[in-house]
Chain A
Amino acid sequence: MSDLTHLTIADAEKGLDRGDFTSVELTKAHLAAMAKHKDLNAYITETPDQALAMAEQSDKRRAGKQAGLLEGIPLAIKDLFCTEGVQTTAGSHILEGFKPPYESTVTANLWKQGAVMLGKVNLDEFAMGSSNMTSYYGAVKNPWKRSGDAKDLVPGGSSGGSAAAVSACIAMGATGTDTGGSIRQPAAFCGIVGIKPTYGRCSRFGIVAFASSLDQAGPMTRTVKDAAIMLKAMAGHDPKDSTSTPGPTPDFTKAVGQSIKGLRVGVPKEYKPDGLSSEIMAAWDKGLAWLKEAGAEVVEVSLPHTKYALATYYIVAPAEASSNLARYDGVRFGLRVPGNSLDEMYMKTRAEGFGREVRRRILIGTYVLSAGYYDAYYAKAQKLRTLIAGDFKQAFQKADVLLTPTAPTPAFAIGENLDDPITMYLNDVFTIPTSLAGLPGLSLPAGLSSDGLPLGLQLIGRPFDEEAVFKAAAVMEQAAMFKRWEAC
């Protein structure tokens, strides 16, 4: 084993079990790699002392034959998850220095399963963005570069730090959150696997809220199996989140490696907009070919309301965000910029504490909820959301999973697309409908573009049928033979 950091979670578990190495060694290897890759700016807060202490504890538990699902595995945590006593910024100035006195349910679940925290990774401010450019803590660099081009590329967003860290092997896996594509698009840009599970699968308790009806946590890993292991650890009903779904969590790893003979794979005809690059089309066709070869049946499906999805999302998400972010008012925690009156203090604090994109979305959200506009925007968007979910329901009569591209382009350069928010928003055109419908969506690397960048494909499943998604993803992963260490 040349480098411990290149291992998959599944293989690392075997190695730890065999006693080839300890969690402390595994963790140290990652801390060293993190130091080497500082230039990526993937981490906002590194927690080496905590990591080593957790690794030591983990080694003890393993010696006592009490290993959890992720025993001793070093992970990166998106800085949107509240971690007790460890700064949690949400990528925003307004929360700089905020140390929550509580732990999010998802991270608590991970620690319960033995995972080790390496630190808190970068993200777009309040998870609003598709490039990680909106973070107050600076842009994150994609570990991948175009062949023969030194220009730094974005890792995607909002879980850009998570994707970059996993891709560069400075974490074995990372938590992400996905509101409109924030796990899947960066996974695609960085050549890793990321799944946004069904809405309700993971508890939102302790995750800084962006858009409550859409936010969902999920794992970002280098393999499909690792994603299945990690999701199993993260998920589960939580009485502290009224929208988390009761019932047991399946063992997703069992789906990995199962035959897909007879599985019906739907191809939405509306996902082939004019101008979609031929490279993306080619990757998509290749993905379908792999599935067919393994015995799946490809069917065309229709999602007729797709064209309204982006507009719907950019009403619903900002509306909820404008309300969710009202609590950052300088009164009880985080940044406070004094003023001569309460209103002035609010204005100064929020003007200084929030970046441009966040302010833009608060304004949009406030507008669409205002008296006289509510019916024209928010109420209409809710109706469309129902229609979009209905489209998928129809499609899943004919298909068991859907295959689509994850993003319309591979990673773009840092600084590109910044002037025009609409172009930036278009990045999520394939992931947003799934989010609006609350369905599970997984992105996996399917190959490289002509200039050497990862291209992602998205598998979409029925509500709470992540297993079908994992099953198909594992088959594709095997066929793709993606060089997942390329960027380490």
Chain B
Amino acid sequence: MAYMIEGETGPWEIVVGLEVHAQVISNAKLFSGAATAFGADPNSQVSFVDAAFPGMLPVINEMCVEQAVRTGLGLKAKINLESVFARKNYFYADLPQGYQISQYEKPLVGEGQVIVDLPDGRSTVVGIERLHVEQDAGKSMHDQHPTKSCIDLNRSGIALMEIVSKPDIRSPDEAGAYLRKLRSILRYLGTCDGNMEEGSMRADVNVSVRKSGESYRTRCEIKNVNSVRFVMQSIEIEAKRQIEVYESGGSVDQETRLFDPGKGETRSMRSKEHAHDYRYFPDPDLLPLKLKPDYVARIKDTLPELPDEKKDRFVRDYGLSPYDAGVLVVDRASADFFESVAKGRDSKLAANWVMGDFFGALNSTGKTIETSPVSAAQLGELIDLISDGTLSGRLAKDVFALMVETSKAPSVLVEEKGLKQVTDTGAIEAVIDQVMAANADKVTEYRSGKDKLFGFFVGQVMKASQGKANPGMVNDLLKSKLAG
């Protein structure tokens, strides 16, 4: 079902395009040798180039170019063998050069696509318009001094990829799924850490609304939204605002807006009349960026298996459902974890354990795969203990809980706690005899036709064996004993 917002005049469709700014993983900045680590002391990672001192010149960092090409390839996009850096001119205190070196008419990467899996199980394709490389600005801090603003230039000059989607997104869910998928791809590629809280991934959200069948109406751009949730919220809020404007007879102005999550509203930053005229022109300090086809081919050869391919393989090779496979491949660490657990074992059982108890434990303990108390080898061993009958499903859950607590191997815990499943016929029969003796009346009732009591006996036997008796054997033995 297409997502629609119901207005007074009927349903409205929303049209969304996202411009994602993704910070390139690189030790040095785009045009200088200064470091890029997050959280350093203000102005401790600034070269004279970043601070735009007189006579300083930019020199392209090859690593950043390689990362952007890698990203383009990961987005199945066209790599432009010649691209041009251009200056985007505007004045601001945290923009030392008075211009941002970006790409305008000739970006490094052209059209591509991202396959997006939606929560309802559908998949959709969001087109990529372009990806270009540009410098980040510094950071203005207005809360450090009563009358002055402070500038931190650590971020100034850090390489960003601006990834522009086509206006293919039709719901907040699609926008959220697109962002998550894009982040997943970037993380697989190792080109951006996708960390929205630290600002290494931010989105500008272009929103318009229209009646079904119409061409595009005027869009507004919501700047610098810094979480997936806020992107989704801001789209809905902005779309509703535009619908209200139209339905009250007004018109929507093309403008830049700011999302205020606290107030749950978007508000105008600057209108078209006050829009910057960026006076783009090719940066004369830099030559056009020319790449050789074999350079691109060499990067392509080193691309890792990406989420879509991995998902297909998981479905094909492990017999997982597309949904399960999709969940497992969201990040490379969980996919790798699953694969080590599943290797040589029942893959469905492995998937259930990884996605069920294991992810549950990570969630409740606030750990990640990297810091997980249970290793893939340990979880694999646990599954082996289930498969060879050492542990029942129920016991296995108890053992797993202990594994999370202690980080000990399951075999050790089974030994220590004596949790081994009882499979000795004699021992089980003894327990059954005990239970039958203590419940002679129930035995009589059962034998006179009250079959439903069978469950009661199973329960009693399991309880008496402290859950250790093999349930299958309990079933069989009980049946024959009760039959008399």
Complex interface residues of chain A between 376 and 393 (CB less than 8 A to chain B): 378
**Taking the complex as formed, is B281 at the interface, i.e. its CB lies under 8 A from any CB of chain A?**
yes
Q: Looking at B52, B55, B56, B285, which has the most chain A CB atoms within 10 Å of its CB?
A: B55
Name A345's closest neighbour in chain B (CB-CB). Answer: B93
Interface of B is mostly: loop
* Complex: A378 Cα to B284 Cα, angstroms: 13
**Taking the complex as formed, is B287 at the interface, i.e. its CB lies under 8 A from any CB of chain A?**
yes
Complex interface residues of chain B between 46 and 63 (CB less than 8 A to chain A): 48, 51-60
Name B279's closest neighbour in chain A (CB-CB). Answer: A369
**Taking the complex as formed, is B277 at the interface, i.e. its CB lies under 8 A from any CB of chain A?**
yes
Name A327's closest neighbour in chain B (CB-CB). Answer: B52
Question: Is B286 touching A327 in the complex (CB atoms < 8 A)?
Answer: no
**Taking the complex as formed, is B97 at the interface, i.e. its CB lies under 8 A from any CB of chain A?**
yes
Complex interface residues of chain A between 413 and 456 (CB less than 8 A to chain B): none
Report which of B51, B55, B58, B99 forms a contact with A332, defined as CB distance below 8 A.
Answer: B51
A77 to chain B, nearest CB (A): 13
B342 to chain A, nearest CB (A): 50
Q: Looking at B96, B97, B151, B285, which has the most chain A CB atoms within 10 Å of its CB?
A: B285
Complex interface residues of chain A between 69 and 127 (CB less than 8 A to chain B): 81-82, 88, 90, 95, 98, 100-102, 104
**Taking the complex as formed, is A212 at the interface, i.e. its CB lies under 8 A from any CB of chain B?**
yes
**Taking the complex as formed, is A331 at the interface, i.e. its CB lies under 8 A from any CB of chain B?**
yes
Question: Is A209 touching B279 in the complex (CB atoms < 8 A)?
Answer: no
**Taking the complex as formed, is A206 at the interface, i.e. its CB lies under 8 A from any CB of chain B?**
yes
Report which of A205, A207, A241, A326 forms a contact with B89, defined as CB distance below 8 A.
Answer: A326
Report which of A100, A211, A213, A329 forms a contact with B98, defined as CB distance below 8 A.
Answer: A329
Question: Is A243 touching B285 in the complex (CB atoms < 8 A)?
Answer: yes
* Complex: A241 Cα to B60 Cα, angstroms: 10
**Taking the complex as formed, is B170 at the interface, i.e. its CB lies under 8 A from any CB of chain A?**
no
**Taking the complex as formed, is A240 at the interface, i.e. its CB lies under 8 A from any CB of chain B?**
yes
Complex interface residues of chain A between 213 and 230 (CB less than 8 A to chain B): 213
Question: Is A100 touching B55 in the complex (CB atoms < 8 A)?
Answer: yes
Question: Is B53 touching A333 in the complex (CB atoms < 8 A)?
Answer: yes
Interface readout for A240-280 with B: 1 if CB under 8 Å, 0 if not? 11110000000000000000000000000000000000000
Question: Is A323 touching B87 in the complex (CB atoms < 8 A)?
Answer: yes
A323-B279, A331-B151 are contacts. A242–B59 as well, Cβ < 8 Å?
yes
Which residues in B have their C-beta under 8 angstroms from that of A243? 284-287
- Size bin of chain B's contact surface: 20 to 34
B324 to chain A, nearest CB (A): 50
B150 to chain A, nearest CB (A): 11
Question: Is B98 touching A102 in the complex (CB atoms < 8 A)?
Answer: no
Question: Is B284 touching A320 in the complex (CB atoms < 8 A)?
Answer: yes
Question: Is B54 touching A241 in the complex (CB atoms < 8 A)?
Answer: no
**Taking the complex as formed, is B323 at the interface, i.e. its CB lies under 8 A from any CB of chain A?**
no
**Taking the complex as formed, is A204 at the interface, i.e. its CB lies under 8 A from any CB of chain B?**
yes
Which residues in A have their C-beta under 8 angstroms from that of B89? 322-323, 326, 369
Q: Looking at B53, B54, B279, B284, which has the most chain A CB atoms within 10 Å of its CB?
A: B54
Question: Is A378 touching B281 in the complex (CB atoms < 8 A)?
Answer: yes
**Taking the complex as formed, is B91 at the interface, i.e. its CB lies under 8 A from any CB of chain A?**
yes
A95-B54, A332-B52 are contacts. A242–B96 as well, Cβ < 8 Å?
no
Report which of B91, B92, B286 forms a contact with A242, defined as CB distance below 8 A.
Answer: B286
Question: Is A102 touching B57 in the complex (CB atoms < 8 A)?
Answer: no
Name A103's closest neighbour in chain B (CB-CB). Answer: B55
Question: Is B57 touching A205 in the complex (CB atoms < 8 A)?
Answer: yes
* Complex: A204 Cα to B286 Cα, angstroms: 12
Other than the known A205-B56, A206-B56, what 4 A-B pairs have Cβ atoms closer than 8 Å?
A95-B54, A242-B60, A342-B93, A369-B281
14 A-B pairs with CB atoms under 8 Å apart are A88-B54, A90-B54, A100-B53, A205-B55, A209-B54, A211-B284, A242-B60, A243-B284, A243-B287, A323-B279, A327-B96, A331-B93, A370-B277, A370-B279
- Using a CB–CB distance below 8 Å, which chain B residues touch chain A? 48, 51-60, 87, 89, 91-93, 96-99, 149, 151, 277, 279-281, 284-287
List the 4 shortest-distance A-B pairs measured between CB atoms, nearest first.
Answer: A326-B98, A213-B284, A369-B279, A212-B284
